[in-house]
A = this chain, B = another copy of it.
Amino acid sequence: MSEERYFTISELANIFDISSRTIRYYEEMGMLTSVTRESLTKQRSYTNTERRRLKLILRGKKLGFSLQEIKEMIDLYESNPEGKVERERIIEFADKKLKEIDEQILQLQILKEEILAHRKRFLDVKQT
């Protein structure tokens, strides 16, 4: 399953419709790690793994999370916890995030209802 497909920075940028600068910025922030092939080259190269990470980051952004929050999630997501304490910390964090997400979904549903109600009021008014 090891597809050794490599992406240049502008390829990734095009795929996700963002700028190269943005990708470099994410790397600068430690949210992305480019695979500089054997340090022979100075240009960045990305694998499918990075592609997926980028997708994760962008989804997080769309959902209103800050880059810092996203970084925290990804870091935990990819950490390999040694002891029991570490694992418990992760579980705890996950539960916290799940609660936040549920709350967010709930709020979105409320907003949705309100917009629907509002929309209906305008449909009802057939004549001025």
- A interface vs B, CB < 8 Å? 59-60, 62-65, 77, 81-84, 87, 90-91, 94-95, 97-98, 101-102, 104-105, 107-112, 115-116, 118-119, 122-123, 125, 128
Contacts and interface: CB of A to CB of B under 8 A. Distances in A.
Contact of A122 (B87, B119, B122): B87
A33 to B, nearest CB: 20
A64 B111 CA distance: 13
Given A101-B108, A101-B111, A116-B98, A122 B81 contact: yes
A88 B24 CA distance: 43
A98 B115 contact: yes
Number of this chain's copies in the assembly equals 2
Given A94-B119, A108-B108, 4 more contacts: A59-B107, A63-B64, A64-B65, A102-B112
Contacts of A115: 94, 97-98, 101
